[in-house]
Every structure is written in structure tokens, then in C-alpha cells.
A and B are shown apart, each in its own frame.
Chain A
Amino acid sequence: GENVEQHPSTLSVQEGDSAVIKCTYSDSASNYFPWYKQELGKRPQLIIDIRSNVGEKKDQRIAVTLNKTAKHFSLHITETQPEDSAVYFCAASIVTSYDKVIFGPGTSLSVIP
């Protein structure tokens, strides 16, 4: 089955700096890669996703890149703000009619004012 690894497990950055989180996946058939942000005690919120037919996607301060050959994808947050502090999870899925989504172990991001 699919296995998703994520690094780093914790990340501290100064406000205004960039943050990068990297993930790798094992199943070459995976074709959908979402990123979720989870605040303490709350449900995960989708922040951005990318499909295998795209190499990069950007939404304001957030961008995601995908390298299918190497089976890794990354989340980039620019101009970080204190409210970006949360746990971020990458995930991978095979989108063939509601296939299960496997999550990485998570990255705890702290943005220091």
C-alpha cells in the first residue's frame, strides 16, 4: 500500500520568512496530492492540492510542486505569518472513484513574530 513520508517534523521560522515542507510517496499510481492544515483540536482544512498532470500550483502565498519521477512533492509558504502556525499534513491518493487518502506524519510549523 501507499506510504507517505514527510520532513521536517517540526519547523520554526521568523515571521516573513519562507517555509518548505517536503513529502515522498511510494505508490507510483498515486495521482492526487492534497495538503491539509490542522489547528489544535480542530479538523484538517485543505489548503492546496495538486494532481499528477501538473508540476506546480500556486495560490497566493502557498505553492506546491510535484516531481512524479522522484515521487516527491513539496509545500512552500512565503511571507509567513503567525496565523500560519499549525500542523501541516501532506497526503497521497489514487483518484479512481473515492480511493482512500493516506497522510504523512505531519509537520508542526511555528512562525515566530
Chain B
Amino acid sequence: GAVVSQHPSWVICKSGTSVKIECRSLDFQATTMFWYRQFPKQSLMLMATSNEGSKATYEQGVEKDKFLINHASLTLSTLTVTSAHPEDSSFYICSTPRGIGELFFGEGSRLTVL
């Protein structure tokens, strides 16, 4: 069964609005959550790493004020795309390590900004 549940699976929004994506860990506590972005026919690019109870660590070139990450509990991490623009349209996917090394991915969220 799914280890990480991600919602929504797809969302369409108007330019300038904000969109929140949630990732929930099922039956275990996710201390760390990685957030990736994937453009069509491209690889998964790490955006940020969130750790429960502390501020997220953003990769170089990722605007932390635009991509707000919250990891307030051991079972929930959220990514909010603020003031979304068409260039933010992408596939966003969360993942958490379980054990030593292996990543468990959420189902992914396809964002389309009109």
C-alpha cells in the first residue's frame, strides 16, 4: 500500500493565486520530507528539504518566499506555491526516506497555472 499520500493529484489555478500541496506519511513518522519539481521530459529537481519542527532547507535558485514549506508534524508536510504564474506549472512530488536510503514518493501533483 501507499506509504506517502499526496494531494491534490492535479490542480488548475489562475495566475496570482496560491496553491497548497499536502503530503502525509501513512503508518510511520516522516522526520524528513524532500520536495521535488519535475518539468515535462526532465529529471526530478530537488527544491527543498523539510524537517519536522524546523525551517526547510532550500536548494540554490529556489525562492523560499514563493515555495513555502511547512512540516509541523511527523505525518504532514505541505508545499504552498504562492502567487503562482504559468512558469510554475509543473509536476511536484514529495518523498521521504525510510530506512537507510530508499525514498518513498507521494503520487505527485500536477499543477497548471492559467
Contacts and interface: CB of A to CB of B under 8 A. Distances in A.
Given A32-B101, A34-B103, A43-B105, A98 B43 contact: no
Contacts of B93: 43-44
Contact of A106 (B32, B42, B91, B97): B42
B103 A41 contact: no
Interface string B103-114: 101111010000
A51 B100 CA distance: 10
Contacts of A102: 46
Contact of A42 (B44, B100, B108): B108
A89 B31 contact: no
Interface string A55-73: 0000000000000000000
Interface of A: 32, 34, 41-44, 46, 49, 51, 89, 93, 95, 98, 100-106, 108
Interface of B: 31-32, 34, 36, 41-46, 49, 91, 93, 95, 97, 100-103, 105-108, 110
